[in-house]
Structure 1
Amino acid sequence: MSHFLGLLEQENISKNLLLLFLLVVLLLFSSRKVLAASWMDNEAFEMHGETFRGSSEELKKEVLKPSWSLLKVFLVCLLAGLLSTALGVLGLSLVYGGSGPTSRRGMDLPKELPPSPGPEEKSLEAKFQFLNHLRSSKGSAWVGVISADAEVATFNVSAGQVVFFPRNSVHWIKNVGAQDCLFLLFFSTHEELETLELDEVFFSTPEDVVARALKPRGGVNFIRTFKKPREAQALNLPANLEELLHNVTYGQAPAHLVWRFFYDLRGSATFPFPGGSFQWARYRRDPSGLSGLEKIFSQSLNQHEDTLTLAALRLSTNSLGHPHFHPNANELGYVVSGCGQAGLVVPQGASDFNVDVGDVVFFPEGTQHFLKSTCQEDLLLLLAYSTGEQLETLRLRDYFKGTADHVLAQLFHKDQRDFQKIP
C-alpha cells in the first residue's frame, strides 16, 4: 500500500485514474463476451431442436433466466467493487497528494527534519566564519577626544584619515559635511562591546552630587531643569535644535595634541612590494624614518592599553599578497574597492572565498592567510590588527626556505636537490 500511495502523491494522478477507468470497461466487456461464448458452446442449446420441441421459446426463457440473473449479480458486484476502489483511491489522492505540503494542513504529521547541508552550503558556512559585509560612504566630521589627563583634542577629519580613541576615553564624532559620513570602526575587544554615553552618566548621578561637582549658578535647582528624554539624545536630536544652538564652532587643537589621536593614512609613506603596496598607521620600535608628528602617533599607540595597528593594502590586478601569518595579532580587513580572493588555513582545515566591496574578512591570530586581486582594478583593503606592539609577520616563503632541505625532503617525499629550485 505504501508504494501505491507514493504513486498517487506524484503529479500523474489523473493518468492513473484514467487507466483505472479503462480497466473497468475492459473487464466488463471481456466478462460479457466470455459468458456469451459459454452460452453458445453449451450442448443444451445445440440440442434444443430435439429436446425442446413445440415450446422451445418458453423453455429457452426458463433456462436462460437464472443465467441472466447470475450475470447481472456478478456484473453489479464487479462494478461496485471497482467503483468503490476508484472512489477510495481518489479520496486518498486528495488527502495525500494535492499541490504539496499545504494539502496536509490539519493533520498531525511529524515535522520534517532540515536537510543536511551539501558541499556548497558547508563551504558557505566555513566562509562566513571569516566574512561579513558593510556598505561604503564618504564624508567629513569633527572629532573630539578627552584623554585621561583631561586634555582635549579636537580636529576635522575626512576620507582616508585615521582616528584613535584610547580605551576609557570620552570622545565624540559630529558630521559637518553635506552628505552622510561613514566611519569604519575597529574595537579591540572580542567580547560584547560596552558603551556608556554622557547623558546616561549624567542622569544616573544624584542631583546633589552633580550640583556639587559642576557648581552651576542656581545649584541643584538648575540641575533639576534637565529633563531626561524618552529616547537616547545621541540618536534622536531635539526638533528645535536650531533654536537651542547659538554659537557653533569646530576648533582645532594644537598639533602635538591632535597627533596623539590622528593619523593621515592616505597621505603617509608607501611601502611597495611586487604587485602591491602598504601604508601603515602603527607603532614602530625603531622610529627612524618617521616624521616628528608620526612619532607622536606611534608612541601614543604603544602607551595605551589594547590599541590597534592599521594598514591600507593595495594589490594590482592578478597580484598576490603572499601567504603569511601574524604571531601576535588577529587581523580584520574591510574591502574598500576592487574584488579578489581570500584564503586561510586553520587547524580544522582550509577556507577560500571571494571578497568584494564592503566585505569584512577575519584572520585569527596564528593562522596562515593570503589575499589575491581578481578584478581589472586594484584591490584596496583597510586592515586592522589587534596589537599595540610592532606587528610581527612570518611569510610562507620565509619559513619554507628557512627549513632545512633534508627536513623538507623527508616531509614531502622528494629529492633533497629539488628544493634548491626554490629561490
Structure 2
Amino acid sequence: MDNQAFEMHGENIPSSSPGKEGPKKEEGRKGSWTLLRIFLVCLLACVLSTAIGVLALSLLYLDTSASLRENRDQNEAATPPETAGKEVEPKFQFLNHLPKSKVFKYPGGEIQWARFRNDAREYQSAEELEFGKSLNHHHSKMTFGTLLIKSKGLRAPHWHFNANEHGYLLKRQSSPTAGTKVGCSVKENLSFCHGSSTVCVLQPAGGVDFIRTFQKQREDQAVNLPANLKELVQNATYVQSPEELVWQYFYDLQGSEEFPFPGGIFQWARYRRNGTGLSQTERIFSESLNKHENTLTLATLRIFSNGLGQPHFHFNANEMGYVISGCGQVGVTLSGVTANFNIGIGDVIFFPVGTQHYIKSVCDEDLLLLLAYSTGNQLETLRMRDYFHGTADHILAQLFFKKQEEFQKFPK
C-alpha cells in the first residue's frame, strides 16, 4: 500500500471480497455515501431555512394586515358618523362656535372647551373637528375654555402637568361693597392654556401615607363647599400674601392703561422689555411672564361700532380670541387659504403665527374680545399701516400700479 493512512482506515471496514481490490472498492463506496449524506444534510437545511423564512414572512404579513385593519377600524370609529364624507368650509380652521360644544358638568359648575382632542370621537361636529386639527397642525399648543362656577361652588385645587393657565374673570352677578366680604352668586371665567412641562409635588406631613387617606370626590374637577365648612376648617381667615407673590399671578387688566388706535382700544397683560411707566405691580407681573416658559400675552380688544382692526400679522405668536360682546367680521389669509366669516358672542377664533388677518365690528354696539398670544416675550406685529410707512413710495407705486404721489399723501 502506498498510502498508509488509507490502509489503516480500510482495515476497520469489513470486506466482502477477498484480494487487493476489496478495500479500495469499499473505500470508494464509503466516500460516495459520505458525499450523499452531506448533500442530504445541506438539502434538509435549505428546506428548513426556507420553511422558517416563509413562516416568518407569513406571520409578519398577518400581523401587518391585522394592524392595518385595526388602524382602519380605529380611524373609521374615531370619525363621528355625522362627519363622514362631509365637506367642511375652510373658515372652520379659524372659527369655533364654542356654545355648541359639549358641556362638561361637575357639582361646582361646568366647562366648555375649544381644543385639540386625540380621540376624534370626542368632537361634536365636523366643524369642531376641523378647528381642533388646525390647532394641532400649526403646533399652537393653545387651549381655550369657559368655566362657570356656581354660587358657593369650588374649583378644587389642581395642577396641570403640560400647560400654563391664564384666566380672565368675565362677570359676577353681585358686586363687592366696601368693608364687606365679597359674595358672588355666579362667576364665569375664561381660561387660556399654553403647553409647558410644569410639575407640582405635594409634601404634607406624613407624606404618601397621608395622601392615601384622602377620599375620592364624586368628580375630580370640583365640588360644592359643604354646609358644615366652619366645622371642617379650623381657621377660615387667611393672611394676605406679600405683594411680590400675589402680583406674579394676578393682574388688573380692566384697570390697566388703555392703548387707543383709530378703530378702538387695546388693554394689555404682557411682558415689556422696557418697564418705563409700569407700576410696581405691573412690573412684577411682566417679569413673571417672561421668567416662565410657554406663558401667554393677554389683551382685551374693543373695536368701536363699524370700526376696523386693520390687517396685520404676528411674527412670534399664534393668536386665539373669544368674543365677549358685539358681532363682527373676520378676514384671514394663510398660505393657500383665504376665509371671511362672521363672529358673534361665544365664538372662538384662531390665527396661526404669520397669518394675515383683520377684525371689523359690524354691529351698532362695540365688539369686545379677549385675546391670547402664545408668547411670554414682547409681541412682534406688523400692521398694514407700518408696512406702507416702512416701504418706499416708488416701490408701492410699482406694486399697486399707482402714481408715487398718491402714496406720499398717506398720513404719517
Q: 1:357 to 1:142 in 2, by over 3 A?
A: same
- Name 1:130's counterpart in structure 2: 94
Q: Distance in 1 between matches of 2:293 and 2:269?
A: 16
Q: CA RMSD in A?
A: 3.8
User: Structure 2 vs 1, CA of residues 232 and 418 (structure 1 numbering), >3 Å: closer, same or farther?
Assistant: same
**TM-score scaled by length of structure 1:** 0.53
Question: Is the alpha carbon distance of 1:347 and 1:178 closer, same or farther for their aligned partners in structure 2, counting shifts above 3 Å?
Answer: same
Q: Which residue of 1 aligns with 2:210?
A: 223
**1:139–1:158 CA contact under 8 A, matched in 2:** no
Instruction: For 1:391-402, list aligned pairs within 5 A.
Output: 391-402=379-390
Contact 1:132–1:359 (CA under 8 A) maintained in structure 2:
yes
Match of 2:291 in 1: 303
* Letter of the 2:260 counterpart: P
- Separation in 1 of the partners of 2:226 and 2:149? 26
| Runs of at least 5 residues in structure 1 that lack an aligned partner in the other structure | 1-113, 148-156, 162-175, 203-212
Question: Taking structure 1 as reference, are residues 139 and 421 closer, same or farther at Cα in structure 2, changes over 3 Å only?
Answer: farther
The residue that corresponds to 1:389 in the other structure is 377
Cα distance in 2 for residues equivalent to 1:280 and 1:292: 16
Greater strand content: 2
1:20-419 matches, cutoff 5 A: 117=87, 125-134=89-98, 159=170, 177-189=183-195, 214-216=204-206, 223=210, 226=213, 228-229=215-216, 231-236=218-223, 242=229, 244-245=232-233, 247-419=235-407
Q: Give the Å deviation of 1:279.
A: 0.8
Q: CA deviation at 1:228?
A: 4.8
* Aligned residues of 2:204 and 2:210 also touching (Cα < 8 A): no
Partner Cα separation in structure 2 for residue 285 and residue 403 of structure 1: 26
* Inter-partner Cα distance in structure 1 for 2:360 and 2:319: 16
Contact 1:142/1:250, CA 8 A, preserved across alignment: no
One-letter amino acid matched to 2:193: F
- Work out which of the two has the higher radius of gyration on C-alpha atoms and give 1 or 2: 1
Q: In structure 1, the residue corresponding to 2:192 is in which secondary structure?
A: coil
Q: CA distance change for structure 1 residues 411 and 364 in 2, over 3 Å: closer, same or farther?
A: same
User: Residue 132 and residue 404 in structure 1: after superposition, are their counterparts in 2 closer, same or farther (change >3 A)?
Assistant: same
> Which amino acid in structure 2 is aligned with residue 278 of structure 1?
F
Q: Please report the TM-score for the alignment, with normalisation by the length of structure 2.
A: 0.55
Q: Deviations over 1:360-406 (max 9, x none)?
A: 11111111111111111111111111111111111112213322333
Say how many residue pairs are matched. Answer: 263
Describe the SS at the equivalent of 1:267: coil
Write the deviation string for residues 47-67 of structure 1: whole angstroms up to 9, x where unpaired. xxxxxxxxxxxxxxxxxxxxx
CA distance in 2 between counterparts of 1:419 and 1:160 reads 46
The whole-number CA distance in structure 1 between the counterparts of 2:400 and 2:253 is 43
In structure 2, give the amino acid aligned to 1:229.
K
Q: Secondary structure at the match of 2:185?
A: coil
Report Cα offsets for 1:249-305 as digits up to 9, x if no partner: 354212121011110001111111223111111111111111111111111111111
For residues 257 and 160 of structure 1, the distance between their equivalents in structure 2, rounded to whole angstroms, comes to 25
SS in 2 for 1:381: strand
User: Structure 1 residues 370, 158: closer, same or farther in 2, change over 3 A?
Assistant: closer
Higher helix share: 1
For 1:396, the aligned partner's letter is M
Helix, strand or coil: the match of 1:376? Answer: coil
SS at match of 1:335: strand
The amino acid across from 2:352 in the alignment is P
Q: Decide whether the 8 Å contact of 1:342 with 1:370 is kept in 2.
A: yes
1:3: which partner in 2? none
Unaligned runs of 5+ in 2: 1-83, 100-145, 160-167, 173-181
Question: Secondary structure of the residue that 1:186 maps to in structure 2?
Answer: strand
Distance 2:93 2:360 in 1: 19
Identity among equivalent pairs (%): 53
- Which amino acid is 1:389 matched to? N
